[in-house]
């Protein structure tokens, strides 16, 4: 996501013909955008709203009004336009066939883009209108101009209620998708489950057509760092896969991801990788509280993973989130000195470190989305949407006691054993 390297750069920008306008280029974030060099690191595609932002768009002191839902006589929404035909597609296919892949994963065949109806078609919410994000039809987010990276939106109590609902829905969809992970299941089948589970809860699957992304979730297997596109490749015993879910409910996004092990065979190194990723992530979650600098999250993560013998990806980052998919603050998962703001009650953002068993350099496939490690080493990642409270932090996408599965990394963690539900007095689903 966007970042400002130094006062010198700021002064140079002020002296340039564009002035401060040079600072408002939208940053990228791990959920769906690639991170450029120092002045704009990012993760990738989706996010945000009200106060100012940098990761995916900024805003003023008032929150942008949520997109209009269908009225009594809704007008048909145009189907997502995803570029898949013509000369550009032929060139892409040619590149895919000659590309030098770095690990064992290869792109499979993608199923047709799934559609989103105007209203919920089944279940207890049948007939409820589904809110569509601004990019649903043409793939282009219509966000307010991005502000300075340290200007961060403070959610109102009413917005927090809506974000809690979106976060809970995202968690339920992720749990449902995770239950599908087993030998022989394709990632496209996982995407189908994620799509249906989002719709039945009245949600739009946020990744779908975000800057043209063709699917409803991301499935990143083995050496794929992030933004893996679901396809017809069957999962194999010993694979590790990150399932990344974001949903858009009543005008707000909820974003989370988790690791899953396929089958019964897991290499000891990969087991340590997942455990180290989870532990450094939870240490960074525990660090969050009002008054602390966002830039310091990266040091907490990097210190832990280096001690454990792994590396942290620098090309992608966490991000602010709300009515806009990606916005300020940018959350870098390595030591940095970027002026990305100070934590305050009402801030909502993601922490989503991507940790590698060997080198952390990445290469992007010709599909312009899939990011893989250059050396073919495996990676792991976890993610929550977080809310800063008066006395700590709570995960809006936290696991649901009695419903969500407890994995080995939660049982064996030396940072926090069991479900991590925050450090503040508020429970994840309290109002």
DSSP state of 156: -
Q: What residue has token string 């990011």?
A: 371
pLDDT tens, the chain, 431 aa long? 223 333 333 333 344 433 433 333 333 455 554 443 333 333 333 333 333 333 433 222 233 333 444 444 444 455 555 555 577 667 767 777 789 999 999 999 999 999 999 999 999 999 999 999 999 999 999 988 878 999 999 999 999 999 999 999 999 999 999 999 999 999 999 999 999 999 999 999 999 999 999 999 999 999 999 999 999 999 999 999 999 999 999 999 999 999 999 999 999 999 999 999 999 999 999 999 999 999 999 999 999 999 999 999 999 999 999 999 999 999 999 999 999 999 999 999 999 999 999 999 999 999 999 999 999 999 999 999 999 999 999 999 999 999 999 999 999 999 999 999 999 877 555 43
Give the list of residues 6+ apart from residue 124 with CB closer than 8 angstroms, or none: none
Q: Please name which of 314, 298, 400 lies closest in space to residue 362, comparing C-alpha atoms.
A: 314
- Whole-angstrom CA distances from 378 to 53, 89, 319, 357 are 32, 29, 23, 6
Handedness of CA 365, 370, 371, 376 (dihedral sign): negative
Q: Tell me phi and psi for residue 12, to 5 degrees.
A: -65, -40
44 φ/ψ angles, rounded to the nearest 5 degrees: 155, -155
pLDDT of residue 144: 84
- Per-residue confidence (pLDDT) for residue 97, from 0 to 100: 77
pLDDT at 147 (0 to 100): 80
Would you say 104 and 376 are in contact if contact means Cβ atoms under 8 Å apart? yes
pLDDT reported for residue 169: 98
Residue 64's pLDDT is 35
Cis peptide before 329 (omega within 30 of 0): yes
Angle at 151 between CA 150 and CA 152, to 5 degrees: 105
Per-residue b or e along 78-114, where b marks 16 or more CB atoms closer than 10 Å to that residue's CB: eebebeeeeeeeeebeeeeeeeeebbebebeebbebb
State how far the Cα of 365 lies from the Cα of 162, in Å rounded to an integer.
Answer: 36
**What distances in angstroms separate CA 286 from CA 161, 254, 289, 346, one per listed residue?**
23, 20, 8, 17
| The pLDDT of residue 30 | 53
Say if pTM beats, i.e. exceeds, 0.85. Answer: no
Pairing of strands 348-351, 252-261: unpaired
Tell me what pLDDT residue 427 has. 56
Confidence (pLDDT) at 267? 97
**pLDDT of the residue at 198:** 98
Tell me how far apart the alpha carbons of residues 347 and 335 are, in angstroms, rounded to a whole number: 22
| Res 186: pLDDT | 98
Structure tokens at 154: 């403070």
For position 13, what pLDDT does the model report?
Answer: 38
Task: At 69, list the tokens.
Answer: 């839902």
CA angle (365 as vertex; 326, 133 as ends), nearest 5: 30
At residue 137, the pLDDT reads 96
Determine phi and psi for 129, rounding to 5 degrees. -70, 140
Query: Cβ of 137: how many Cβ atoms within 10 Å?
Result: 14
Instruction: Tell me the domains of the chain and their CATH numbers.
Output: 36-63+98-411 (3.90.230.10)
Predicted pLDDT at 79: 53
Q: What is the pLDDT of residue 29?
A: 54
DSSP 93-158: HHHHHH---SSS----PPPPPPP--SB--SSTTTTPBPP--TTTTTS---PPPP--TT------HH
């Amino acid at each position: 996501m966007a970042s400002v390297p130094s006062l010198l750069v700021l002064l140079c920008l002020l002296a340039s013909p564009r002035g401060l306008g040079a600072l408002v280029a939208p940053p990228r974030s791990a959920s769906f955008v690639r991170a450029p060099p120092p002045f704009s690191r990012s993760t990738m595609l989706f996010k945000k709203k009200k106060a100012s932002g940098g990761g995916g768009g900024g805003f003023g002191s008032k929150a942008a009004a949520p997109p209009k839902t269908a009225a009594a006589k809704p007008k048909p929404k145009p189907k997502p336009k995803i570029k898949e035909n013509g000369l550009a597609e032929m060139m892409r296919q040619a590149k895919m066939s000659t590309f030098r892949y770095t690990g064992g994963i290869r792109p499979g065949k993608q199923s047709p883009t799934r559609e989103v109806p105007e209203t919920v078609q089944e279940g207890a919410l049948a007939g409820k209108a589904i809110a569509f994000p601004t990019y649903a039809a043409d793939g282009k987010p219509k966000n307010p101009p991005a502000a300075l990276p340290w200007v961060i939106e403070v959610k109102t109590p009413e917005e927090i209620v809506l974000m809690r609902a979106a976060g809970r829905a995202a968690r339920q969809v992720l749990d449902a998708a995770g239950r599908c992970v087993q030998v022989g299941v394709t990632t496209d089948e996982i995407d189908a489950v994620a799509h249906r589970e989002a719709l039945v809860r009245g949600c739009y699957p946020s990744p779908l057509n975000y800057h043209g992304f063709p699917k409803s979730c991301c499935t990143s297997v083995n050496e794929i760092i992030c933004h893996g596109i679901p396809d017809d490749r069957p999962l194999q015993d010993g694979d590790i896969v990150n399932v990344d879910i974001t949903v858009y409910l009543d005008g707000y996004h909820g974003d989370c991801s988790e690791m899953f092990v396929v089958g019964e065979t897991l290499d000891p190194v990969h087991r340590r990788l997942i455990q180290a990723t989870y532990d450094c992530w939870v240490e960074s979650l525990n660090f969050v509280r009002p008054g602390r600098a966002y830039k310091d999250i990266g040091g907490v993560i990097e210190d832990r993973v280096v001690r454990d013998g792994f590396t942290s990806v620098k090309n992608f980052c966490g991000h602010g989130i709300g009515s806009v998919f990606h916005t300020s603050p940018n959350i870098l998962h390595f030591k940095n000195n970027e002026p990305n703001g100070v934590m305050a009650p009402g801030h909502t953002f993601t922490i989503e470190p991507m940790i590698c068993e060997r080198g952390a350099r990445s290469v992007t496939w010709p599909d312009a989305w899939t990011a893989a490690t250059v050396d073919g080493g495996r990676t792991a990642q976890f993610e929550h949407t977080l809310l800063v409270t008066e006395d700590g932090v709570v995960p809006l996408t936290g696991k649901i006691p009695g419903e969500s599965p407890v994995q080995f990394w939660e049982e064996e963690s030396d940072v926090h054993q069991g479900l991590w539900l925050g450090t503040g007095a508020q429970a994840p689903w309290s109002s």
